[in-house]
Structure 1
Amino acid sequence: SYTGRSTCHVLAKRRIRLPKLGSIRTSKTNQLNSGRIKRYTVSLEPTGRYYLSLQVEVEAPQALPKTGRMVGLDVGVADLVISSDGVKYGTFHAPWAEKQATKWQSKYAKRKHQVTITVRQWNHNHKTVKEELNDYQNWQRAQQQKARYQAKIANQRKDYLHKLTTALVKQYDVIVIEDLKAKNLQKNHCLAKAIANASWFQFRTMLAYKCAWYGKKLITVKPNYTSQICSHCGYHSGPKPLNIREWTCPKCGTYHDRDINAAVNILHKGLKAVG
């Protein structure tokens, strides 16, 4: 990849002029009419496709109308987000693309092994065999296909998170979330893949900058004991294993869904912190 700061010009709806490269075909350049391009980056992705990234200076978006609503959000593995209102937003899944990515990952590993053996034989015998070139091309093809399916999953996940965070920012004026350290939680090898697929950090990042853009308030609180305290009477019932998803408070008898109860406690913590 390379980056330049020279002036770029939008020529048409799907045309842009770059220094040295001249006029190239692009997409979505019609959205750049109200902004000034300050920097561009051209990169070649592992998928074999070229991408143009533009840094554009635009006016800040207008604040969204106030709704007067507040919410606490608890993040999870089975459900990505659980709100204090009792709404559960599922985790992103792309079963077909994930299956294809796994299949091509296996093909890539096998073909890479074949190429390695062939190259070693060539280095030992000081001669080229016909199978070497074919194996190398197959390996490159498998690498590209694997990268394309992985990129497809990442793009679909990002699209899902964008739609979810935008909907939350439009609904609520104050959003309270846990200050989770996802990197530390991924040390649990049983949950590492599920936590990475949920993209908690990316969800929080999107939520933070969209709240700043649209004039909403984001509050972070410590996650300590949010699933152990009764949100009705405040009784601390002690730690519970992950397979316990519902429980009844032994003091006041209130029946709780574990995740919704945690989201309510997160909201209470956030409101107490801001006074």
Structure 2
Amino acid sequence: MAQLPYHYGVKLRVFPSNEQKRLIKLNSDASRYIYNEMNGMNRELFALHQVKTPIKLVQTRIETLKQRLKHPAINISNIHGWLNDRALDSDMKANAIKNYRTAWKNFRKVHRAGTPVFHKKRTEQKYQTSNHYASKIEIPNMFNGSVRLLDDKHIQLSKLGRLRFKGMPAKLIARKAEIRIGTTTISMDATGRYYVSLQLASDQPFVNSETSQSDSAIGIDLNTDNFLTDSSANVIANPRFYRSIKGKLAKAQRTLSRRATRAKKAHRSLRESKNYQKQRQRVATIQRKVANRRKNFLHLVSTALIKNHDLVVAEELRSKNLLRNHALAMNIADVGWRMLLGMLAYKADLYKRQFVTVDPRNTTQTCSDCGFIMGTEPTQKLTLADRQWTCPRCTAYHIRDHNAAKNILAKGLVTLTDQ
């Protein structure tokens, strides 16, 4: 998969039987257990290394843990016999170990996400498996691997067998003879819906990037007043998806809280309380609908920007820092800026366009005509309430967001020139 030049991802909704649901839960629990066992051994190893006195018992334990971590799939299964169950996917174990080691690599590379933590048992379920092709297969595709399509509506998965699915794009079905399937993720969300995510690869591009080529560059300013303003003065209104259901969600959450209190007073487990679980699913359904509407909106906006422009320049926003402002936190979380920037980044690679992020410093305070920066003597900085202003040096009239978008585009062009 890695050696193929083009990659794509697709998420399908599947409809498992009761037995298949049981197997998904079993594999999900095993995946989480293996991840947590490795994390526990590493934490114990770190604590034992803090013991400076050369105690033989401590040294023996350190060597034992090191040996177990070298071959965790065999050693953890030997200690915990239930992991040898035939219903468990061996590729699930390998992927759980791989994900844990990747978490450490990411920590060493970035240092921002923190060290790996224990995975809690939640309502959601998820595990990963791998696709294998026999050596005698001449042309690997979506029909002849261990994970394969049986027809346009059914997929075969290791240990689970035949599953009905929906949501496969028609363009992928038309080219399924030349596409390979890689890592596969089986998951269940909080509302009880099951999904299969497929990593796809091919020798040919998944999209035709030449049909809508346009020699243009655009800068975009993201804000909460309106969702987006570009350097051509086009404005996309903020849909405010969360605010539209805020009252309905709050009412459902209050009911959920009351049912949790009643279950605790009756000494009933929340997992076994039917009324609580029914209301929990209602709350999760409302939240899923909002998330789906927001994601669909962001996909439409990002695809239109990338397909219609050769260069898209945006400001590099750190949502984690912005969310510390409690007065704006809800509005910032509702617009989904980081998700949009992520979509623009991978779609630019997909459509062979350029996407650049720039430092947002002074983009709203700088005059796009003469370069004067508000806040320098004898002027004061613009506040969030100042949506329109006139430059004191060149007397140019600016709409705040349009001016910022032009400055962002100019910064992006300078960045590309310097490269």
TM-score norm. by structure 1 comes to 0.88
1:101 pairs, out of 249, 257, 270, with 249
One-letter amino acid of the counterpart of residue 151, structure 2: A
Which of the two has higher C-alpha Rg? 2
Please give the per-residue CA displacement for 1:30-56, whole angstroms capped at 9, x wherever unaligned. 635242222322222110122222222
Q: CA deviation at 1:241?
A: 1.4
Please give the per-residue CA displacement for 1:112-144, whole angstroms capped at 9, x wherever unaligned. 12211221xx7xxxxxxxxx99x9211111111
Matching of residues 200-239 of structure 1 within 5 Å: 200-238=337-375, 239=381
The residue number in structure 2 matching 1:117 is: 265
The residue number in structure 1 matching 2:194 is: 50
CA distance in 1, matches of 2:266, 2:385: 50
CA distance in 1, matches of 2:245, 2:200: 32
2:215 pairs, out of 68, 71, 79, with 68
CA distance in 2, matches of 1:237, 1:165: 31
CA distance in 2, matches of 1:172, 1:146: 40
Q: CA deviation at 1:272?
A: 2.0
Does the aligned pair in 1 maintain the 2:182–2:199 contact within 8 Å? yes
**Greater strand percent: which structure?**
1
One-letter amino acid of the counterpart of residue 116, structure 1: K
Please give the per-residue CA displacement for 1:13-33, whole angstroms capped at 9, x wherever unaligned. 211122222221111346352
Matching of residues 157-172 of structure 1 within 5 Å: 157-172=294-309
CA RMSD of aligned residues (A): 2.0
Structure 2 SS opposite 1:79: coil
CA distance in 2, matches of 1:169, 1:217: 8
1:85 pairs, out of 228, 232, 247, with 232
Greater shift after overlay, 184-193 or 264-273? Answer: 264-273
CA distance in 2, matches of 1:41, 1:269: 40
CA distance in 2, matches of 1:167, 1:175: 11
Confirm or deny that 1:258 pairs with 2:395: no
One-letter amino acid of the counterpart of residue 53, structure 1: S
The alignment covers a number of residue pairs equal to 263
Does the aligned pair in 2 maintain the 1:233–1:252 contact within 8 Å? yes
TM-score norm. by structure 2 comes to 0.59
Does the aligned pair in 1 maintain the 2:363–2:404 contact within 8 Å? yes
Please give the per-residue CA displacement for 1:135-163, whole angstroms capped at 9, x wherever unaligned. 92111111111111111111111111111
The residue number in structure 2 matching 1:15 is: 154
One-letter amino acid of the counterpart of residue 62, structure 1: N
Greater shift after overlay, 2-11 or 253-262? Answer: 2-11
- Provide structure 1 residue ranges, at least 5 long, that are not aligned to the other structure: 123-131
Q: Which has the higher contact order (CA 8 A, sep 6+)?
A: 1
